[in-house]
């Protein structure tokens, strides 16, 4: 039997643990369907900000050499070797938290510098044969349909460049009832056909 792997990026801001309940439920549901899961709480890991030098494209292909002394390269390996990448983030102006955004930007080296055209748009070329599916979960204190739509569109656009086999995005209230959240996660994972 093939064991699938998932990596959860918990983008909670420092000194705020509102994502932990959601993280634990996602971990449990992934384990229940036979997926080996590793969670990374981004505010507890040193990830330096991308400096935009593009050395990971043209100088040291696939490897960040512009930023040194953090966990970026180790985490990038985990991403490329997993089957499901989960973004768990407080909803921030329709996007990711600053903690999550730092690592997402550092994943640029997983793509080639060239582009291809699809449906009249330019997109990055693959560097690797296989990329993980993406599940993005945002939490918010007050539901705003425009902001939720913006987040889902961000994930859709991001996925056009990151080449996941499947992607899903959803926004939940911070005080979402745990059983309801669990039920929703089960449905999303089933829709994504995620099981080992």
Q: Facing residues of 88 across strands?
A: 10, 137
Identify the domain containing residue 39 by its residue range.
4-191
Q: What CATH number is associated with residue 145?
A: 3.40.50.360
Q: Would you place residue 2 in the very low, low, confident or very high pLDDT band (cuts 50, 70, 90)?
A: low
Averaged over 14-35, what is the pLDDT?
Answer: 91
CB proximity list for 174: less than 8 A, separation 6 or greater: 18, 139, 140, 141
Burial of 86 (0-12, 13-18, 19+ CB in 10 A): buried
Whether the pLDDT of residue 1 is over 60: the answer is: no
pTM, to two decimals: 0.94
CB 136 within 8 A of CB 155: yes
Q: How far is CA 185 from the centre of its chain?
A: 15
Q: Facing residues of 134 across strands?
A: 85, 167
Domains of the chain: total: 1
Q: What are the residue ranges of helices labelled H in the chain?
A: 20-32, 55-58, 72-80, 98-106, 145-162, 178-191
Averaged over 15-29, what is the pLDDT?
Answer: 90
Q: Is residue 196 part of a domain?
A: no
């Amino acid at each position: 039997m093939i064991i699938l792997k998932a990596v959860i990026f918990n983008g909670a801001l420092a000194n705020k643990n509102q994502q932990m309940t959601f993280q634990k439920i996602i971990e449990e549901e992934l384990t229940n369907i036979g997926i080996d899961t590793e969670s990374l709480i981004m505010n507890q890991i040193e990830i330096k900000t991308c400096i935009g030098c593009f050395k990971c494209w043209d100088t040291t292909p696939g490897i960040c050499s512009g930023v040194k002394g953090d966990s970026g390269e180790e985490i990038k390996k985990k991403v490329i070797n997993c089957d499901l990448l989960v973004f768990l983030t407080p909803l921030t102006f329709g996007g990711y938290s600053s903690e999550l955004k730092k690592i997402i930007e550092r994943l640029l080296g997983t793509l080639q510098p060239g582009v291809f055209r699809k449906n009249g748009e330019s997109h990055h070329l693959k560097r690797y044969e296989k990329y993980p599916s993406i599940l993005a979960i945002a939490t918010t204190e007050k539901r705003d349909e425009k902001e939720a739509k913006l987040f889902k569109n961000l994930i859709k656009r991001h996925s056009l460049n990151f080449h996941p086999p499947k992607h899903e995005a959803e926004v939940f209230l911070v005080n979402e009832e745990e059983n309801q959240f669990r039920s929703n996660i089960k449905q999303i994972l089933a829709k994504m056909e995620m099981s080992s």
